[in-house]
Amino acid sequence: DTGVSQDPRHKITKRGQNVTFRCDPISEHNRLYWYRQTLGQGPEFLTYFQNEAQLEKSRLLSDRFSAERPKGSFSTLEIQRTEQGDSAMYLCASSPETLGQFFGPGTRLTVL
């Protein structure tokens, strides 16, 4: 399968715990995006990378959130001290220079 993959697909955690998600983009895509989506809403932009450089972060991304893409390939999104409001679907997408973004299956986070 050469699409975008995300791991884990589901994560249940207790409030206050740290969680980390991984995204593996389509191999020839140099851009990688993270979004958060809650029920009834469209995906909200969190951050994006061009190769290993993080070019933009949304103001939605508090300092409890951090994302990395150390070698310009896979990326991780970490949430520290999770809160119930962090419960959402976290989507990763990748794209080549000018075409549409291709989404992974998402990681559904539930914070108890």
Partner 1 sequence: GQNIDQPTEMTATEGAIVQINCTYQTSGFNGLFWYQQHAGEAPTFLSYNVLDGLEEKGRFSSFLSRSKGYSYLLLKELQMKDSASYLCAPGGYQKVTFGTGTKLQVIP
Binding mask 27-66 for partner 1 (x = CB under 8 A): ----x-x-x----xxxxxx--x-x----xx----------
Task: Give me the helices (H) in 3-108, please.
Answer: none
Secondary structure (3-state) at 75: strand
Please, what is the minimum distance in Å from the beta carbon of residue 20 to partner 1?
19
**Which residues are bridge partners to 44 per DSSP?**
36
How buried is 72 (Cβ within 10 angstroms: 0-12 exposed, 13-18 middle, 19+ buried)? middle
Please, what is the minimum distance in Å from the beta carbon of residue 105 to partner 1?
5
Q: Which stretch binds partner 1 (CB under 8 A): 22-30, 63-71, 77-85, 91-99?
A: 91-99
CA atoms within 13 A on the CB side of 81: 3
Binding site for partner 1 (CB under 8 A): 31, 33, 35, 40-45, 48, 50, 55-56, 91, 98-106
